């Protein structure tokens, strides 16, 4: 049951067996580059915020390296005192309370390109976004 402990990986992506390191965004919260889930760490608790981030990351390489219990927040992003006890609880909270992630956004298109080009990440994400928007940054005929 490692899913209900936050140790730097996105808990939502972990449910899909995808280990994604969360990064610091401008607020600064921890945000998943893939699904934009946001976490605020306060008093050794990892608060899962109900609204998603916008992919506006701080360009640092800091990774979260502690272990915190995941907790719910209310609609104003304050902790509501409920610890997330297992993956079923987590899934339910993500599905019913947290804003859903949009699969295709311009920010994701740009971030996936930057990740693939400059961060040695696989091209798949970028191709998916690129095909959706019919924009390919590798195509020199577009401005």
Residues at the contact surface with Zn ion, assessed by CB under 5 A = 10, 12-13, 32, 34-35, 37
Do 51 and 75 touch, CB atoms closer than 8 A?
no
Cβ-based nearer residue to Zn ion, 12 or 73: 12
Q: Residue 10 CB, nearest distance to Zn ion (Å)?
A: 3
Q: Residue 12 CB, nearest distance to Zn ion (Å)?
A: 5
Q: Residue 15 CB, nearest distance to Zn ion (Å)?
A: 9
Cβ-based nearer residue to Zn ion, 40 or 135: 40
Q: Distance from first CA to last CA of the chain, Å, rounded?
A: 48
Cβ-based nearer residue to Zn ion, 13 or 46: 13
Cβ-based nearer residue to Zn ion, 35 or 109: 35
Q: Residue 56 CB, nearest distance to Zn ion (Å)?
A: 16
Q: Residue 60 CB, nearest distance to Zn ion (Å)?
A: 19
In 1-143, alpha helices (H) = 11-15, 87-96, 106-118, 124-133
The token pair that represents 89 in the structure block: 């609880």
Q: How far apart are CA 31 and CA 14, in angstroms?
A: 14
Do 120 and 111 touch, CB atoms closer than 8 A?
no
Residue whose structure tokens are 């800091």: 62
Cβ-based nearer residue to Zn ion, 119 or 138: 119
Determine phi and psi for 31, rounding to 5 degrees: -130, 140
């Amino acid at each position: 049951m490692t899913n209900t402990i936050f140790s730097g990986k996105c808990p939502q992506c972990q449910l899909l067996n995808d280990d994604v390191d969360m990064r610091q965004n401008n607020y600064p919260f921890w945000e998943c580059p893939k699904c934009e889930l946001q976490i605020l760490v306060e008093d050794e608790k990892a608060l899962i915020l109900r609204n998603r981030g916008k992919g506006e990351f701080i360009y640092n390489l800091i990774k979260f390296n502690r272990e915190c219990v995941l907790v719910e927040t209310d609609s104003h992003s304050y902790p509501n005192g409920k610890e997330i006890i297992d993956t079923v609880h987590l899934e339910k909270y993500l599905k019913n309370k947290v804003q859903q992630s949009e699969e295709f956004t311009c920010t994701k298109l740009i971030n996936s390109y930057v990740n693939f080009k400059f961060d040695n990440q696989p091209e798949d994400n970028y191709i998916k976004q690129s095909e959706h928007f019919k924009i390919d940054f590798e195509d020199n005929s577009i401005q």
